[in-house]
Chains A and B, each alone.
Chain A
Amino acid sequence: MKNRLRVLRAEHGWSQQALADKLGVSRQSVNAIETGKYDPSLPLAFRISECFGLPIEDIFLREEPSS
């Protein structure tokens, strides 16, 4: 699943570690989510959403199935 985490984090001027601290996860987790290697669970997605003050669908983008 694509996401705008890296862009949003940059807009806030946060490092991966800073965002990880806010979310209560490891920096590796933030990196894995940003690079699309890992899709977060719903509870973590909600925490990310609250962190940026945005709805989940503005952060995580549904990939359209290719026809």
Chain B
Amino acid sequence: MTCHPRSTPAFRRYMRRFLIATGLYIGTFMIGVRLVPDDAPPSPLYIGLALLPGLAILGWIWAMGRLLIEMEDEYLRMLEVRKFMIATAFALTISGVWGLLELYVTVPRLPVFMIFPLWCVGLAVGQIWNRVSGA
């Protein structure tokens, strides 16, 4: 295995899956924006349209899971797992602490759908941690 970790076949497959899920997310999100009116009633059609981007989120999570399964290099896989753990700690800490703030004091409400983007920010934090720890 002579190549950079990001040019391994597993990572290339991950990037392909990630981009497909991203395209699905953008497409279904735009469909929802166009077709679902403001203050839409909770009809099956509107609920379905609102849930469609969720399929893309599932796709992202599935792609990340497959990356861990398909990575052949155990050390690089350990670094990815560590990154995911840091991201999970980051997202849970911020959402949990912010939830307590919302409970006790008047602060802007953190939308639930922001937890996944928070987790993705945590991935960047994990990546930085992997770098600074000399891994």
Residues of A within 8 A of B (CB): 17, 20-21, 24-29, 32-33, 37-38, 40-41, 44
The total number of A-B Cβ pairs within 8 Å is 37
| Contact in complex: A37, B74 (CB < 8 Å) | no
Residues of chain B from 1 to 58 with CB closer than 8 A to chain A in the complex: 1-2, 5
Q: For residue B89, which residues in chain A have a CB less than 8 angstroms away from its CB?
A: none
Is B73 among interface residues, defined by CB-CB distance under 8 A? Answer: yes
**In the complex, chain B residues whose CB is within 8 Å of the CB of A37:** 134-135
Q: How many residues of B contact A (CB 8 A)?
A: 11
Whether B97 is near chain A, meaning CB under 8 Å from some CB there, is no
B contacts, CB < 8 Å to A: 1-2, 5, 72-76, 78, 134-135
**A24 CB contacts on chain B under 8 angstroms:** 1, 72
* B74 pairs with A29, CB closer than 8 A: yes
A4 to chain B, nearest CB (A): 19
Q: How far is the CA of A33 from the CA of B76 in the complex (A)?
A: 12
Report if A25-B2 is in contact (Cβ < 8 Å); known contacts: A32-B135, A37-B134, A37-B135: no
Across-interface contacts of A38 in B (CB, < 8 A) = 75, 78
